[in-house]
Chains A and B, each alone.
Chain A
Amino acid sequence: MFGAKTRVLLPLIILLIVAGGMLSISVYYLFSAWMAFQRNDISTAMYYSVIGGAGIAITFYTTFIARKRSIIKKETQSIVTTTQCSNCGYKTVKKFSKGDYVFKTGANCEKCNQPMLITSIFAEEPNKQSKQ
């Protein structure tokens, strides 16, 4: 009846509904604690605030754990090709294109019109990409 993705997401949805319910009850208890405090009923206020506080803490912790598990990392790496002129040493860095390989003679140099050589092809590391 359900697809594979739905079957995996179903517990997460149930968890979020339960978490929502727990959060509402916890907020209600915190509100009751405030009301009891207003009435100078300190012991009841303490009692309710412990329940409310614990409920909120458990809710957030559970949701955080579930969120961490549900994230699918999909990193797309940027591959660059470095070319260098064997005559004047002029260097260029461009996006990798299919057919590039190390030590392939590429287009002519912009400065001296001599053939340029692909000297390296590498993936830019993710942290460096995010800084740029």
Chain B
Amino acid sequence: MIVNSFLAVLGQGTDALGSIIQIIYLLSFVFFMFYGQKFQTWMMIREIEGAVVKLRILRDEAKKSAVTAIQEFSTKGMDPTPRIEHFLEYFTIMPSSLDPTGIVPKLDHVMDVHEKRFKSEIALMAPSANEVQQNDLEGVLEVAIGLNQIYRIVNHFFLTGKKTMSLYVIMQIQMQLPQIMQIAQSYNAALKAFAEGQPIGDGAGPLVASKLMYGHPSREVAKDVMAADVELDGRKLIVIKAKGPGATVGKPGKAVEKIVEEVQNNPDLGGGNVAIIVMIDAASKYEGEKSGETSEGVGAVIGGIGVEQFEIEAVATKFDIPVHGVIVKESIEESVAPMTKSISDGTEVALARVKRIILENTKENDVVIVAGIGNTSGIAQ
């Protein structure tokens, strides 16, 4: 009967077409009423699946790059692939914060163990690499682990969403997908930068410090941190930066602590006091701001998990040393990608600002610590 009436409607020419359209129109309402959310979920799952495929490609490329980079320095005939594959899921468990008292030394210890483990793995896989090359390989491996972690998280949400068909599970990852993909793309760019030893955006701080240090003899004051004594209009600057040109950030907190203690034990140096500490680092810009712009303020400008910041703040508070900061603005993606021209140009402005801050806030014979914070890949001293 329904078929007959449908055929009857079809046989009525233009009016029949109108009726069909009306039926489709009404059916679409019914469809979207019952299946609208499912349809939306399905569309989102498709979008996430596309992202998962792209992330898997990036992860595999990263793994391949890590293997190629490490193979260059490994023992002849040894294939580092299985070891790298195991290492891609390497994890670091942060200390419990249920009782936060004394958490900083615990964090420091965990990070030390993490770094030592990385270095020993690299030394095993690439025994013929020198210190600089080992640091670069460490960077490559860190990025490969980062990309693998991003892939695993997105894939987890994708599969959970597909299993539950829950819009709210899927929305959690779908809403953040553009940012996640941007970060993954910049990690991909960072991989090449570390493998070839190019400076990255985060190297703005060390670049400013190295411009001040260049031509002066330097010494290692803390693990992977170099210091040089520089004279600026009668002030004695002790400039520190991570040991380049390998990809490392060093331990600037320990270095500042050590230098302050050294100055305290030597009354001939600025009367046994550090007048000010000036820190330079790359920092996140807001959308709409130009990359490479600089700004200044007070406080310890340093990222990371907070151990180094804590150490610098502790020593500055203990000896009442003002801490000034200069930042070079850049996006999160730019901070791990190869350094752009605008950031490189921005370091010149930052250097001029550092000099002005020193001259305005100190007098002759004062001792000033200048700390260039960040990854020093491709930047020597």
Q: A residues bordering B, Cβ < 8 Å?
A: 4-5, 7-8, 11, 44, 47, 51, 69-70, 72-73, 77, 79, 96, 98-104, 120-125, 128
Flag whether B54 is at the interface (Cβ < 8 A). yes
Please give me the residue from chain B that is nearest to A36 by CB atom. Answer: B14
Contact (Cβ within 8 A) A124 B199: no
CA distance A125 to B214 in the complex (A): 27
Chain A interface SS verdict (over half): mixed
Provide the B310-341 mask, 1 if CB < 8 A to any CB of A, else 0: 00000000000000000000000000011111
Given contacts A98-B196, A102-B380, A103-B210, contact A123 B245 (CB under 8 A): no
Provide the B188-216 mask, 1 if CB < 8 A to any CB of A, else 0: 01000000111100000001001000100
Flag whether B64 is at the interface (Cβ < 8 A). no
Contact (Cβ within 8 A) A102 B378: yes
Please give me the residue from chain A that is nearest to B42 by CB atom. Answer: A11
Chain A: minimal CB distance from B40 (Å) = 14
Flag whether B50 is at the interface (Cβ < 8 A). yes
Chain B: minimal CB distance from A18 (Å) = 15
CA distance A123 to B340 in the complex (A): 5
Contact (Cβ within 8 A) A103 B380: yes
Contact (Cβ within 8 A) B54 A96: no
Chain A: minimal CB distance from B362 (Å) = 26
- Apart from the given pairs A44-B14, A102-B199, 7 other A-B contacts in the complex at a CB distance below 8 Å: A72-B54, A73-B185, A79-B198, A98-B197, A102-B210, A102-B380, A103-B381
Contact (Cβ within 8 A) A99 B197: yes
Provide the B37-54 mask, 1 if CB < 8 A to any CB of A, else 0: 000000000110110011
Given contacts A102-B210, A102-B378, contact A8 B337 (CB under 8 A): no
